[in-house]
Structure 1
Amino acid sequence: MEHDSDEIQIAEQKRAALAYLTEAWDEAIAEGIEPDILAHAALFAALSDLIDTYGEDAVADLAVSLPDRIRRGEFTLQRTIQ
């Protein structure tokens, strides 16, 4: 039961974090920052923080899994169906 509660709390935190980041992203775009520049800065910040927490080897292992996850659409918010 406690495990379910923890998973719900983590899911809520993830939704809140994404909402904060989306708001900051939209503000940066409105200020004229190009989306690709913003994306690179966000990736740098995220990877740096993950390395501080988990170490370089663990983050490198995560990065190796990214191409397949990207191709599966895990990070695609809007899909175009043809």
Structure 2
Amino acid sequence: MRHPAIFPIHHDDPRPDHEQKQAALGYLNQAWAEARLDGVDGDCLAQASLFAALAELVSTYGEDAVAKFTEGFAARVRNGEFSLALARQ
């Protein structure tokens, strides 16, 4: 199930949002791979990434908006939305 973003995306890049998100994911995957090669633990990377992402959202949209956005995360995790095996099917 796809969940629409509750945040408006503001940017000067003329590319559609989905293309920018794909590009961003590519950058994150590269940084992740580099960190793993340098010996950084995957769990540490995941926690730092979540913190950085949430901190960016809070600084942009405020705590209340981000709290509302994250309310459904537990159910989405339980439903397998973030499980790689399911995402590849």
Structure 2-normalised TM-score? Answer: 0.74
Distance 1:28 1:45 in 2: 15
Q: Secondary structure at the match of 2:27?
A: helix
Of Structure 1 and Structure 2, the greater helix share is in 1
**Aligned residue among 19, 25, 46 for 1:12:** 19
**Structure 1: distance between partners of 2:30 and 2:39:** 15
Measured after TM superposition, the shift of residue 72 of structure 1 is 2.2
Where in structure 2 are there 5+ consecutive unaligned residues? Answer: 1-14
2:18 matches 1:24: no
* Alignment partners' CA distance in 2, 1:75 and 1:17: 18
Alpha-carbon RMSD across the aligned residues, in angstroms, is 1.3
Q: Which amino acid aligns with 1:19?
A: G
When structure 1 is superposed on structure 2, of 67-76 and 24-33 the one drifting more is: 67-76
Unmatched runs of 5 consecutive residues or more in structure 1: 1-7
Distance in 2, matches of 1:16 and 1:78, equals: 22
Q: Distance in 2 between matches of 1:9 and 1:72?
A: 28
Over alpha carbons, which structure has the higher Rg? Answer: 1
Corresponding pairs, count: 72
Residue aligning to 1:57? 64
1:74 to partner: Cα distance: 2.2
Give the structure, 1 or 2, with the largest relative contact order (CA under 8 Å, sep 6 or more).
Answer: 2
Q: State the distance in 1 between where 2:26 and 2:50 align.
A: 17
Please state how far the C-alpha of 1:69 moved relative to its aligned partner.
1.4
Cα distance between partner residues in 2 of 1:62 and 1:50: 10
Alpha-carbon shift at residue 41 of structure 1 (Å): 0.6
1:72 maps to which residue? 79
